[in-house]
Amino acid sequence: MLQGEFPHNVTAMVSIKQKDRGAGHSLSWADSFHFSGLMDTPTSREVFNAHQRNILLDRNLFCEFRTDIKKGMRISHGDDIYEVAAVPKDQGGQGEILKIALKLVPDGG
């Protein structure tokens, strides 16, 4: 793929559960891998349709097709951190482009 098609550098983040001093656990996030994508603003129709399915949608991320991005992971782009809000979709069903719905994490989570 051409760099111009996916001009944004993003970082996938995974959750790490750590035991705390008590009987519980704390959750933190760590960078997992970097990749190129296209951060895009969803249309008002996409936002409405997502809302109908109880999914908050702030951005769409398009990238080369891959299978290592899962719902619940986080994506870092610039100063913003997003949560993968739904199962990523094979855009067009050809195994070429992945569409990832993202929800902004308030204050970086």
The pTM for the full model equals: 0.86
CB contact set of 93 (below 8 Å; sequence gap of 6+): none
The Cα–Cα gap between 101 and 19 comes to: 31
3-state helix, strand, coil in the chain (%, to 5): 10, 50, 40
Fold of 8-108: Thrombin, subunit H (2.40.10)
Q: What is the pLDDT of residue 94?
A: 94
pLDDT tens track of the chain, all 109 residues? Answer: 445 789 999 999 999 988 877 777 888 999 999 999 999 998 999 889 888 988 888 999 999 999 999 999 999 999 999 999 999 999 999 999 999 999 999 987 6
Domain extents for the chain?
Answer: 8-108
